Amino acid sequence: MSAAEADDRAESIRMIRDSAAAVAPPGGDLKRVRDLRFQDPGFDAGLFRQMGEMGWIGLRVPEEMGGAGLGVGEMCALAEELGRGLVPEPLIPAALSAQLLAAAGGKGPLPVLLAGEVVVLTAWQERPDTLEVPGTPDAPRRFLPMASGADFFLAPVQEGGKLALYELPAARCVPSIERTQDGGNLGTITPNMAEATRLADDVGEALAEALDEAALVTSAYLLGGMERAFAMTLDYLKQRQQFGRIIGTFQALQHRAADLKMQVALTRASIEAAAATLDAGAKGDARKAAVSRAKARTAEASLLVQRQCIQLHGGIGYTDEYDVGLYLRKAMVMANQYGSAALHRRRFMAVSPEVEE
């Protein structure tokens, strides 16, 4: 990449970050997020539509399909900013569905999804903690984020050694809903293939790549939450007094804060390196290794940092009324989405050429 291209890329990412301020103002309060917790659908449909109008849902969709055609780096930058604000709208799973529909030739509800007029979720997961897609026709599909607000589901189905793609209206395939720790919801559906519309013969490769990207973008969302919670914690350490002293002057707390800052910095470096690898066109094992290294680190570091931030706040950090706890709850829900740290460590060991037998 030339210097001019690098500058253009940096400007593109800066503009994406700036655009996120319309939804998640830097340092803004979390009243909207609190009001949506434990409600149906758990997000603001109007704001989801605004995300479509800003081109976020189709950020990774090619321009000829109606998307923005931007890179993984831009998508990660956007997710990071949304993570700072704990934005509950299901942008990441919707963007995954948009990529699948584009791979299917733009069939089905792609135009209205890109416009944010409908929520389309891909029902690919049949068991916990996996990135494998068996595509069993009559098997329950689980762990669908914010499923109570879905308008359509996409169901990959194994047919003759290929993964065909079907569309299911949510009205004909009503999900069972479970509440999550952060106030959102997860759904389970059993596909009614008699009501389904076939969209594509084989989306296996496209789905595998989209799941990798979703894992990395989820890591970026968690990174944004880590950074915001850590910033809140530093502010608290600079203000809270004990025994007539600012607690941030205590050496033991300074050491703990330094360790957390290192965790955040290493996580950022891993995510940015993985995004650059994917944008450079990496395929196969190289792509999987980059994603898994970043997701494994982020899944562990996000929970470590968030728990430490709670402890550094003392008793107030454990109250529901204090915002820093919301970041821990979000990390508890999202850390295992698109693969846990353990799963991604195993995959990295299996595919990385850096690991000797």
Residue 225 lies in a domain: yes
Band (354; pLDDT cuts 50, 70, 90) = low
Residue 339 lies in a domain: yes
Nearest Cα to 11, choosing from 74, 55, 76, 72? 74
Does a structural domain hold residue 232?
yes
What's the angle, vertex CA 278, arms to CA 161 and CA 141, rounded to 5?
40
* Tens-place pLDDT, residues 31-40: 999 999 999 9
pLDDT score recorded for residue 25 = 86
Which is more confidently placed, 332 or 317? Answer: 332
For position 357, what pLDDT does the model report? 43
Nearest-angstrom CA–CA distance, 86 and 97? 21
Per-residue model confidence (pLDDT) at position 207: 98
Residue with tokens 């704001």: 47
State the sign of the Cα–Cα–Cα–Cα dihedral 191, 196, 201, 202: negative
Question: Could you tell me the CATH number of the domain that includes residue 317?
Answer: 1.20.140.10
Q: Where is mean pLDDT largest: 28-32, 241-245, 347-351?
A: 347-351
Length of the chain: 357
- Tally of domains in the chain: 1
Q: Which of 233, 221, 240 is nearest to 331 (CA)?
A: 221
Q: Which of 139, 194, 148 is nearest to 38 (CA)?
A: 148
Mean pLDDT of 39-65: 97
Given this model, what pLDDT does residue 232 score? 96
Say if residues 235 and 96 touch (Cβ distance below 8 Å): no
DSSP annotation of 322 = S
pLDDT greater than 50 at residue 1:
yes
pLDDT given at position 182: 96
Percent of the chain with pLDDT over 70: 98
**CA-closest candidate to residue 82, choices 25, 8, 157:** 25
For the beta carbon of residue 159, count every other beta carbon within 10 angstroms. Answer: 14
Show the domain range for 303: 206-351
Residue 158: inside a domain: no
Two tokens at 252?
Answer: 């033991």
* 114-169 tens-digit pLDDT: 999 999 999 999 999 999 999 999 999 999 999 999 999 999 999 999 999 999 99
Residue 238 lies in a domain: yes
In a domain, 33, yes or no: no
User: Would the pLDDT of 337 be above 60?
Assistant: yes
Give the per-residue pLDDT at 143. Answer: 98
Contact (Cβ atoms closer than 8 angstroms) between residue 90 and residue 82: no
Is residue 68, in this structure, part of any structural domain at all?
no
Half-sphere exposure (CA, 13 Å, Cβ side) for 319? 6
Beta carbons within 8 Å of 36's beta carbon, 6+ residues apart: 42, 43, 44, 88, 183
The mean pLDDT of 223-229, rounded to a whole number, is 97
Alpha-carbon span 145 to 347, nearest angstrom = 24
Asked if pLDDT for residue 75 goes beyond 80, the answer is yes
Tokens 């949510």 map to which residue? 170
Give domain status of residue 307, yes or no: yes
Residue 355 has what pLDDT? 54
